[in-house]
Amino acid sequence: VIFLLLAKDPENFEKLKECLKKNLKVTDVAKYSDNFITRRVEVRLRNTSIDKYSEYIRLLEKDSKEIGLLDEEFSINVTNFFRDHSMWEFFYNTVLPEVVKRKKLSGQKRINIWSAGCSTGEEPLSVCIMLKEFLGDSLGGFEISYKATDFDTDAVNRARRGVYEDLQFREMKQEYKEKYFSKNSDGTYEASSEIKNMISFVVADLFSMSMPHDIDILFCRNTVIYFNLESKSMLYEKFYDCISKGGFFIMGKTELLQGPAREKFKIYDSKERVYQKE
Ligand SMILES: C[S@@+](CC[C@H](N)C(=O)[O-])C[C@H]1O[C@@H](n2cnc3c(N)ncnc32)[C@H](O)[C@@H]1O
């Protein structure tokens, strides 16, 4: 609906952008495409039951709370390397060894990984660094299939470029930054192709995409957090179905597994929100 609104009302969309430039405290709208701005504003329009940009501009001009809410809406892609680093330690020391052990025992070489809601790519790149560090030379003996999906085209395109600001590295060991990234002349850092090329980034909406299968490790962290209970339950069941026996599901640190999937998954580590399909 909103794309029609933008198409029908380009003049007020420009005015809205001016208004956002002036009023938003955190977000620099100039950094975002019209598509992305439209998507984020759409959520607030739905919440305020407003269907005209002109009316929404009037609300923003008089209501600082709405400005805060829209700012939050923009920060929804927020992520960083090794976000919630205790989970990463657990992943490296416990989950990865178990996955690798199972593969060796069964004689399988392929490891299927999926990051659902990968945003700008920091999460899948962190996983690839862990794989490289853990497997070292024996990485070549495995066939890693890594799918990273997000419905936000801008985010996925940035993930594909793999260029990051310094701030994104705040939870990453300096050693990894030096080993897997190179510094650009503008002060940004670029992921080396050895980790970037391990991942296939795909634009896909969790609600309409066809689910992958035989997943050994599924990350879906801080992504379904704003969905309603019904949608979450439905997705968690789908996640259960697409994970292979013995495979892992890793959620965000503040998320709770809800719905029927809660009875199906085994809690592998409750603090780190790691679940296993038995
Ligand atoms: C806060 S980021 C999480 C990034 C990373 N997983 C982490 O935990 O750091 C949430 C991402 O979910 C994506 N997202 C939200 N709804 C989605 C949907 N229905 N389908 C696919 N991606 C979605 C957003 O575009 C955003 O990039």
Atom of ligand 1 nearest to the CA of 205: 20
Q: Where are the beta strands (DSSP E) in 32-161?
A: 110-116, 143-150
Q: What pLDDT is attached to residue 33?
A: 74
The finding on whether 120 has its CB within 6 A of some atom of ligand 1 is no
The finding on whether 151 has its CB within 6 A of some atom of ligand 1 is yes
Q: What pLDDT is attached to residue 154?
A: 85
Q: Mutate which of 160, 223, 230, 232 to test ligand 1's pocket (most atoms within 8 Å of Cβ)? A: 223
Q: What is the pTM of this model?
A: 0.82
Are 60 and 67 in contact by the 8 Å Cβ rule? The answer is: yes
Q: Mutate which of 74, 119, 120 to test ligand 1's pocket (most atoms within 8 Å of Cβ)? A: 119
Higher pLDDT, 29 or 98: 98
Q: What is the distance in A from the centroid of ligand 1 to the CA of 53? A: 26
Number of separate helices (H) and strands (E) present in the chain: 13, 10
Q: What pLDDT is attached to residue 201?
A: 98
Q: Tell me how crowded residue 114 is: count the other CB atoms within 10 A of its CB.
A: 25
| Span of 5-19, 148-162, 210-224 with lowest mean pLDDT | 5-19
Phi, psi values for residue 9, rounded to 5°: -130, 55
Q: What pLDDT is attached to residue 3?
A: 55
Q: Mutate which of 83, 150, 218 to test ligand 1's pocket (most atoms within 8 Å of Cβ)? A: 150
Q: What pLDDT is attached to residue 4?
A: 60
Residue 19 pLDDT exceeds 80: yes
Task: Read off the tokens for 247.
Answer: 């495979």
Are 146 and 179 in contact by the 8 Å Cβ rule? The answer is: no
From the number of C-beta atoms within 10 Å of its C-beta (0-12, 13-18, 19+), residue 270 rates as exposed
**Helical H segments across 136-260, by residue range:** 153-161, 174-180, 193-196, 229-242
Residues 144, 4: Cα–Cα separation, whole Å: 41
185-219 tens-digit pLDDT: 999 999 999 999 999 999 998 988 999 999 999 99
Q: What is the distance in A from the centroid of ligand 1 to the CA of 93? A: 26
- Rounded average pLDDT over 208-231: 90
Q: What is the distance in A from the centroid of ligand 1 to the CA of 77? A: 6
68-119 tens-digit pLDDT: 899 888 877 889 999 999 999 999 999 999 999 999 999 999 999 999 999 9
Q: Which residue has the tokens 């896909």?
A: 204
Q: What is the distance in A from the centroid of ligand 1 to the CA of 225? A: 9
Q: What is the distance in A from the centroid of ligand 1 to the CA of 233? A: 17
The finding on whether 78 has its CB within 6 A of some atom of ligand 1 is yes
| Span of 22-36, 164-178, 241-255 with lowest mean pLDDT | 22-36
Percentage of the chain lying above the pLDDT 90 cut: 77
Residues 68, 270: Cα–Cα separation, whole Å: 33
- Residue nearest atom 9 in ligand 1 by C-alpha distance: 79
- Give the pLDDT band of residue 153 (cuts 50, 70, 90): confident
- Burial of 259-269, coded b for 16+ CB within 10 Å and e otherwise, reads bebeeebeebb
Residues 131, 102: Cα–Cα separation, whole Å: 15
| Span of 43-47, 87-91, 164-168 with lowest mean pLDDT | 43-47
Q: Tell me how crowded residue 160 is: count the other CB atoms within 10 A of its CB.
A: 15
| Span of 70-79, 91-100, 138-147, 172-181 with lowest mean pLDDT | 70-79
Are 255 and 222 in contact by the 8 Å Cβ rule? The answer is: yes
Q: What is the distance in A from the centroid of ligand 1 to the CA of 197? A: 21
Round the CA-based radius of gyration of the chain to a whole number and report it. 20
240-261 tens-digit pLDDT: 999 999 999 999 998 999 999 9
The finding on whether 3 has its CB within 6 A of some atom of ligand 1 is no
Q: What pLDDT is attached to residue 205?
A: 87
Q: What pLDDT is attached to residue 7?
A: 64
Q: What pLDDT is attached to residue 6?
A: 64
Residues 91, 246: Cα–Cα separation, whole Å: 15
- Rounded average pLDDT over 134-162: 95
Are 235 and 205 in contact by the 8 Å Cβ rule? The answer is: no
- Rounded average pLDDT over 120-136: 98
